[in-house]
């Protein structure tokens, strides 16, 4: 059994039909190739992908002519610019599908040696299809090109949410900006009205930068939703201007923004030698000023981030000076006490400063003047404080002596906030946390061993030891190479 041509000479088991007319073939080949080039001329496709699309389009044309189950070989001669098509039909005793089978007696009209199981090869002149088939091939190619574009857009941008993209305003439709990106012009990108700073006004053809907020699926494919109003935009601008953020040394841990008016960001440094606020401000304010200029003069407050909610709240209320703060972990409420001359500054215009500080910390902040605080509660918190735990293990990680700040930040990001949370963890549990190195894990196990030893019998404990002491010379400095939490 094997493959046989229906007439003519045999060449390696294949035969060509004498009905094949070269002139007609060349005209139709040129036509389909021209149609293909018209579609693919503006697309960034390599040659292998182009030929794959062309073969797929020709198979669509064959299916339209002969049936959905047609089998064929399509060969593209790159040197001659020629296309050869050979239909493949299996020789059978009883035909069930004429698009891919031929009866033994019909095959033997062309060659008496045909038997059931052989494959008959019939060259096809594309000219017999007519323009309808050419259009079918062209439409299939267009469809495949669009599907490829959609896949590339998803692959390119699904992992780039939060990144800064640049382009130009192609048109303005009912308030939304349609953007043509500089490096991916096929992508559909828009800045909806709600994602714009309404103090800004753009015109067609103007350059624009915005942050990628999300990739939205539509019936026509993925659409990139860009924003100049989201706090992500401010974060992306600082990443562009501050090398320490790009290198992962400085991290923007929290943001709060009222677009067009004011933004607060909280920054953290993984290197104790680098001031995160100073890194973001830059020499003579050059870095922060570049961001302010892009935002049209929007005010920016940069404060240090702290895992301690009370200290973080005091920092977040800057530029106001806060005298005292009290926290209620159950209700996630902060009570902040400020002097009389700082109250209006702490509140801000229309309550903006305290509102942004609350958003930045994630805690509800109630402000009191020193006079009101004295009238209500005096020296203590106005709300009833939580009962203190007698268990030594219930101590915040940030208060444990010898615990590196970078490690504390990683643990708190993972949900471990007190010694009691980590007391039963093993070395492997720490290593599963992103950013914890082998040295970090060993240091944590040493701290736990020291603190839990203190809870043993008195005769086993070293004199003068306490849960907050005893690291001595074995205490290692915080790791400068900690990964992002």
**Residue 442: CATH number of its domain:** 1.10.150
5 Cβ contact list (under 8 Å, min separation 6):
14, 15, 16, 17, 111, 120, 121, 122, 123
* Residue 479 belongs to some domain of the structure: no
Gap between the Cα atoms of 189 and 185, Å rounded: 9
The CA-atom distances, in angstroms, between 166 and each of 119, 180, 184, 210, 279 are 57, 9, 10, 7, 25
Residues 170 and 140 in one domain: no
Percent of the chain with pLDDT over 90: 36
The CA-atom distances, in angstroms, between 435 and each of 106, 165, 276, 422 are 73, 29, 19, 16
* Residue 481 belongs to some domain of the structure: no
- CATH number of the domain encompassing residue 333: 3.30.300.20
**125 pLDDT more than 70:** yes
Residues 12 and 35 in one domain: yes
pLDDT digits (tens, 9 = 90+) for 273-309: 999 999 999 999 999 999 999 999 999 999 999 999 9
**466 pLDDT more than 80:** no
Instruction: Write out the residue range of the structural domain in which residue 135 sits.
Output: 3-154
**31 pLDDT more than 70:** no
Gap between the Cα atoms of 92 and 100, Å rounded: 10
Quote the pLDDT of residue 291. 95
**265 pLDDT more than 50:** yes
Gap between the Cα atoms of 450 and 467, Å rounded: 7
Average pLDDT, the chain: 78
The total number of structural domains in the chain stands at: 5
Confidence of residue 311 (pLDDT cuts 50, 70, 90): very high
- The structure tokens listed for 88 are 């493949």
* Residue 484 belongs to some domain of the structure: no
Confidence of residue 484 (pLDDT cuts 50, 70, 90): very low
Q: What's the pTM? A: 0.58
- The structure tokens listed for 194 are 């709600």
Residues 96 and 113 in one domain: yes
Backbone Cα Rg of the chain: 36
Hey, which residues does 90 pair with through a beta bridge?
101, 119
Residue 243 and residue 262 in contact, taking contact as beta carbons nearer than 8 Å: no
Confidence of residue 482 (pLDDT cuts 50, 70, 90): very low
Residues 8 and 101 in one domain: yes
Helix (H) or strand (E) holding 449, with range, is helix 438-454
Residues 214 and 86 in one domain: no
Helix (H, G, I), strand (E, B) or coil at 143: helix
Residues 449-471, mean pLDDT to the nearest whole number: 44
Quote the pLDDT of residue 3. 58
**For 50-59, 163-172, 338-347, which range has the lowest pLDDT when averaged over its residues?**
50-59
Gap between the Cα atoms of 461 and 465, Å rounded: 7
Residues 74 and 136 in one domain: yes
Residues 38 and 66 in one domain: yes
* Residue 55 belongs to some domain of the structure: yes
State which of 368, 387, 406 marks the end of a domain. 387
**For 133-147, 333-347, 357-371, 414-428, which range has the lowest pLDDT when averaged over its residues?**
133-147
Whose tokens are 């073939």? That residue is 25
CA-wise closest residue to 373 among 334, 324, 328, 330:
324
Residues 23 and 113 in one domain: yes
**Beta pairing, strands 207-218 & 164-173:** antiparallel
**9 pLDDT more than 70:** no
> What are the residue ranges of helices labelled H in 121-205?
131-157
199 Cβ contact list (under 8 Å, min separation 6):
260, 296
Helix (H, G, I), strand (E, B) or coil at 394: coil
Quote the pLDDT of residue 467. 35
Q: Beta-carbon neighbour count of residue 402 at 10 Å? A: 19
- The structure tokens listed for 454 are 């203190």
CA-wise closest residue to 273 among 250, 301, 306:
250
- Residue 449 preceded by cis peptide, ω within 30: no
- The structure tokens listed for 26 are 């060349």
- The structure tokens listed for 161 are 């949410």
pLDDT digits (tens, 9 = 90+) for 194-208: 999 988 989 999 999
């Amino acid at each position: 059994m094997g493959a046989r041509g229906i007439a003519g000479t045999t060449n390696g088991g294949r035969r060509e039909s004498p009905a094949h007319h070269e002139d007609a073939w060349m005209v139709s080949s040129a036509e389909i190739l021209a149609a293909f080039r018209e579609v693919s001329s503006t697309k960034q496709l390599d040659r292998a992908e182009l030929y794959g699309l062309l073969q797929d389009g020709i198979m669509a044309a064959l299916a339209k002519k002969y049936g959905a189950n047609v089998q064929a070989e399509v060969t593209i001669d790159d040197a001659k610019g020629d296309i050869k098509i050979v239909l493949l039909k299996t020789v059978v005793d009883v035909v069930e599908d004429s698009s891919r089978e031929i009866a033994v007696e019909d095959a033997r009209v062309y060659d008496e040696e045909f038997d059931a199981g052989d494959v008959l090869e019939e060259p096809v002149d594309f000219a017999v299809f007519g323009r309808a088939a050419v259009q079918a091939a062209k439409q299939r190619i267009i469809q495949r090109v669009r599907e490829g574009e959609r896949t590339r857009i998803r692959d390119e941008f699904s992992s780039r949410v939060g990144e800064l993209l640049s382009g130009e305003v192609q048109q303005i439709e009912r308030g939304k900006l349609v953007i043509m990106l500089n490096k991916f012009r096929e992508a559909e990108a828009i800045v909806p009205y709600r994602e714009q700073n309404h103090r800004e006004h753009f015109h067609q053809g103007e350059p624009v930068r915005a942050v990628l907020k999300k990739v939205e699926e539509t019936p026509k494919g993925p659409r990139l939703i860009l924003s100049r109003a989201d706090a992500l935009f401010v974060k992306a601008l600082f990443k562009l201007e501050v090398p320490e953020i790009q290198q992962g040394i400085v991290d923007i841990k929290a943001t709060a923004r009222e677009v067009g008016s004011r933004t607060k960001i909280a920054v953290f440094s993984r290197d104790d030698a680098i001031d995160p606020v100073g890194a973001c401000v830059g020499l003579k304010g050059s870095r922060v000023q570049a961001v302010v200029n892009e935002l049209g003069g929007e005010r920016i407050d940069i404060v240090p981030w702290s895992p301690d909610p009370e200290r973080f709240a005091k920092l977040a209320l800057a530029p106001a000076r806060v005298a005292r703060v009290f926290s209620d972990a159950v209700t996630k409420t902060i009570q902040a006490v400020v002097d009389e001359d700082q109250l209006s500054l702490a509140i801000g215009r229309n309550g903006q400063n305290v509102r942004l500080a609350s958003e930045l910390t994630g805690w509800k902040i109630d402000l009191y003047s020193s006079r009101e605080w004295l009238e209500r509660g005096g020296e203590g918190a106005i709300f009833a404080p939580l009962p203190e735990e007698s268990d030594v293990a219930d101590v915040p990680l940030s208060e444990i002596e010898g615990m590196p700040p970078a490690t504390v930040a990683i643990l708190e990001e993972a949900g471990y906030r007190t010694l009691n949370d980590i007391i039963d963890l093993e070395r492997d549990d720490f290593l599963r946390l992103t950013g914890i190195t082998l040295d970090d894990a060993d240091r944590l196990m040493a701290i736990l061993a020291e603190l839990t030893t203190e809870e043993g019998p008195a005769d086993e404990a070293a004199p003068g030891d306490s849960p907050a002491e005893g690291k001595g010379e074995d205490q290692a400095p915080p790791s400068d190479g900690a990964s992002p939490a």
